[in-house]
Structure 1
Amino acid sequence: MLLKYFAPDLYVKSIYDIDLQALKKQGVTTIITDLDNTLVEADSPDYTPKLIKWLDDLQELGFKVIIVSNNNKTRVAEFAEPLTVPYIHRAKKPTKAAFKKALQILKSSASETVVIGDQLLTDVFGGNRMGLYTILVIPISEKEGLGTKINRSIERIILPWMKKRGLITWED
């Protein structure tokens, strides 16, 4: 069934609702995260103290983190470099190339890696195709580019259908 590739392993409100200790117990060592509308609002250059604390918590727990974004180098670099977080820009998600590159950069395997993102058609689909554990978060903002708006219109059809069939469960 093709739709299983669009079903996240976990669906939460935000990155702050992810139980990092539980991930650690599952053997997760590596986090591939999207940027726009996952960590911060789309095109927002600012990270909040809460986000910095979350990233610090990841480091304290021993997680390796990389940002994988379809956005351009300037956007991703201006966000990631001050935080000293590695990144891949123009990732062309959901293709596998950027996910494979992220695993190579962090010297990680699929079985120990989670993908966190706000889009079914890029983050979740791409991660699932690679056999990665996927976590879908609710987008932080409604501000989005045209491509994302098109994806959202498809998501509005897929999400309720998958919820109704038990393919997606909400964890609060």
Structure 2
Amino acid sequence: MLEKLCPDCQANSILELNLEELKKVGIRGVIFDLDNTLVEWKKDILDPEVVVLIERFKAEGFKICILSNALEHRVEAVARALDVPYVSRAAKPRKLPFRKALELLATLPEETAVVGDQLFTDILGGNRMELYTIWTPPLSTTEFLSTKAVRKLERLVIKRFRKKGILK
């Protein structure tokens, strides 16, 4: 079970994502989580650096999609600002929302990455679909109470991965 929680790689921030490295591993599409990955939890104001990053991705030929468990009005606002498709109320880590995102991107699982801050939703869901998974730390500590509870378990898993040298 733990291998399904293990990301293929990690970044300290989405701003550190290396587009050339993603191309080298055959990635053409990128699915981004919304809360605490693209924006802070419950916010819909994008950091200008994030906007520039997404524009760079698109200019380099990557297809981008947002996949979030958040309500549609928030996800739509950010997606509209970035001019990308989205899937809201996703209920990650279920497979169906990831399939919908793949359809929107028109990419295959082996050429698609998912970027997110939660091992038990973003990474687990991406790994279940055999996507290339990229874990980033959350942008903020402000979250749903249930997410905070899961974070405690997540910290134990991360500690174990670090002990084994899997994560930095």
Structure 2: gaps of 5 or more residues: none
Match of 2:83 in 1: 84
More displaced 10-residue stretch of structure 1: 97-106 or 119-128:
97-106
Shift of 1:121: 0.3
Aligned counterparts of 1:70 and 1:150: Cα–Cα separation in 2: 17
Shift of 1:33: 0.7
Cα shift readout 1:75-126 (whole Å, capped 9, x = no counterpart): 1112211321110001010010010111111111011000000000000000
1:132 aligns with 2:139: no
Match of 1:92, SS state, is: coil
More contact order relative to length (CA 8 Å, sep ≥ 6):
1
- TM-score of the two chains, using structure 2 as the length reference: 0.97
C-alpha RMSD over aligned residues: 0.9
Match of 1:169 in 2: 167
Match of 1:38 in 2: 37
Match of 1:139, SS state, is: coil
Shift of 1:45: 1.6
Match of 1:52 in 2: 51
1:107 aligns with 2:106: yes
In the alignment of these two chains, the number of paired residues is: 168
Q: Which residue identity does 2:119 align to in structure 1?
A: L
- TM-score of the two chains, using structure 1 as the length reference: 0.94
Aligned counterparts of 1:82 and 1:38: Cα–Cα separation in 2: 16
Q: Which runs of 4+ in 1 moved over 6 A?
A: none
Match of 2:19 in 1: 20
Match of 1:135, SS state, is: strand
Match of 1:149 in 2: 148
Q: Which residue identity does 2:118 align to in structure 1?
A: Q
Aligned counterparts of 2:10 and 2:104: Cα–Cα separation in 1: 27
- Aligned residues of 2:113 and 2:131 also touching (Cα < 8 A): yes
Shift of 1:51: 0.9
Aligned counterparts of 1:102 and 1:147: Cα–Cα separation in 2: 25
Aligned counterparts of 2:161 and 2:38: Cα–Cα separation in 1: 25
Q: Which residue identity does 1:75 align to in structure 2?
A: R
Shift of 1:15: 0.4
Shift of 1:169: 2.4
